[in-house]
């Protein structure tokens, strides 16, 4: 007898579990199966609510069927009892369900943010090579245009408007810069004469090399404004600087001193990218003057200092001459010497 009861109990338990598993599968098919325990937890709440409701309903049926001898319940009393018991249970379950919904939405929102962040980072990483490729394409196209402009330069009597070509030179391409340097170097005694001659040349003959220097300025400006690192800007500026000959650098020096050509923007870019670092700069022993290029074009220290920025303590902040040996020896100590002299006078 006892064994039969145990078998019946086991059968009932298995049947209940089987029904429970079937109901759980149907619940998951309706609600949706999650990767975590959210769906299972929701099902447990649903199962509790279902059993509680069934038990209350069964209790009321037993009472109405007079299974209990003292039962004299009316239909209204049955409804009040059923509603009074079930409504708090359902309200509590709705509150729990709301909390679970908020938690699920918060988790899904966090996952969505994480996925969006990964997507944004991936797109950013993909765009970086593209940006650099666009920059390099534009940069080397500008270099090609610059080289074409250089080849088209001419200097002879036919292209000069008012200036006198005293050397009767006829040159094209890169040789034009040598011819212009010869033209402006008419007086070796007056150290300011070369700068004054170049200003006169640009006032009347800007069409000879004006477009060349404007193109060079635009390339430097393009590098400076580009969205690349400082190291990359320096690398590309060195590529540009490598294209310039000694005479080009010398004439570039005079060009950015000329107030009718540059008001400081071009010269500032030369300082920023050390464009005059390889200028053939020389210092005469017994004269307070310097030479430029192999043609011995003269300039003065006052003009050279326009290409150097100093800190308050006299050290060099920025210089268009970079690590040029002559500039380091005779120009970079200029402000320190002035400060030391002023300090000695004060003492």
Tell me what the mean pLDDT of segment 115-122 comes to: 75
Report DSSP letters for 162-187, one per residue. Answer: SS--TT---EETTHHHHHHHHHH---
Give the pair of three-digit tokens for residue 176: 């034009």
pLDDT of residue 346: 45
**CA–CA dist 254, 202 (Å, integer):** 10
Indicate the average pLDDT of the chain: 78
pLDDT of residue 101: 73
Q: Is 185 left (phi over 0), alpha (psi -120 to 50) or beta?
A: beta
Tens digits of per-residue pLDDT, 57-116?
676 666 655 555 554 555 555 566 656 666 776 676 677 667 667 766 777 787 788 877
Dihedral sign (CA 213, 218, 224, 229): negative
**Position 315 pLDDT exceeds 80:** yes
Give the pair of three-digit tokens for residue 318: 């920025």
Which residue ranges make up each domain of the chain?
A: 2-123, 152-346
Number of other residues whose CB lies within 10 A of the CB of residue 332: 17
Which distant-in-sequence residues (6+ apart) come within 8 Å of 147 by Cβ?
243
pLDDT of residue 123: 64
pLDDT of residue 341: 47
Q: Which helix (H) or strand (E) element contains residue 314? A: none
**CA–CA dist 293, 283 (Å, integer):** 12
Tens digits of per-residue pLDDT, 233-290?
999 999 999 999 999 999 999 999 888 788 889 999 999 999 999 998 888 766 677 8
């Amino acid at each position: 007898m006892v064994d039969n009861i145990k078998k019946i109990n086991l059968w009932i338990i298995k049947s209940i579990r089987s029904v429970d598993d079937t109901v759980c599968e149907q619940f998951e098919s309706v609600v949706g199966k999650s990767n975590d325990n959210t769906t299972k937890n929701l099902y447990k709440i649903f199962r509790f609510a279902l059993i509680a409701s069934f038990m209350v309903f069964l209790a009321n049926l037993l009472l109405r069927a007079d299974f209990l001898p003292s039962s004299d319940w009316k239909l209204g009393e049955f409804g009040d009892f059923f509603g009074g018991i079930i409504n708090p249970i359902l309200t509590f379950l709705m509150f729990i369900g709301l909390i679970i919904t908020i938690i699920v939405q918060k988790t899904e929102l966090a996952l969505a943010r994480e996925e969006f962040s990964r997507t944004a980072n991936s797109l950013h990483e993909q765009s970086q090579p593209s940006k650099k490729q666009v920059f390099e394409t534009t940069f080397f196209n500008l270099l090609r245009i610059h080289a074409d402009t250089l080849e088209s330069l001419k200097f002879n009597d036919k292209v000069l408007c008012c200036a006198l070509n005293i050397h009767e030179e006829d040159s094209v391409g890169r040789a034009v810069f040598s011819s212009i340097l010869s033209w402006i170097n008419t007086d070796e005694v007056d150290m300011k004469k070369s700068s004054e001659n170049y200003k006169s040349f640009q006032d009347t003959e800007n069409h000879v090399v004006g477009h060349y220097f404007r193109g060079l300025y635009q390339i430097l400006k393009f590098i400076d404004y580009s969205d690349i690192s400082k190291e990359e800007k320096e690398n590309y500026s060195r590529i540009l600087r490598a294209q310039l000959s000694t005479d080009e650098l010398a004439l570039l020096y005079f060009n950015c001193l000329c107030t009718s050509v540059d008001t400081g923007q071009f010269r500032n870019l030369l300082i920023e990218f050390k464009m005059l670092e390889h200028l053939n700069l020389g210092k005469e022993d017994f004269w307070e003057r310097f030479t430029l290029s192999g043609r011995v074009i003269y300039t003065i220290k006052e003009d050279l200092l326009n290409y150097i920025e100093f800190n308050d303590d006299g050290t060099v902040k920025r210089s268009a001459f970079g690590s040029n040996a002559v500039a380091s020896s005779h120009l970079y100590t200029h402000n320190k010497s002035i400060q030391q002299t002023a300090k000695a006078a004060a003492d």
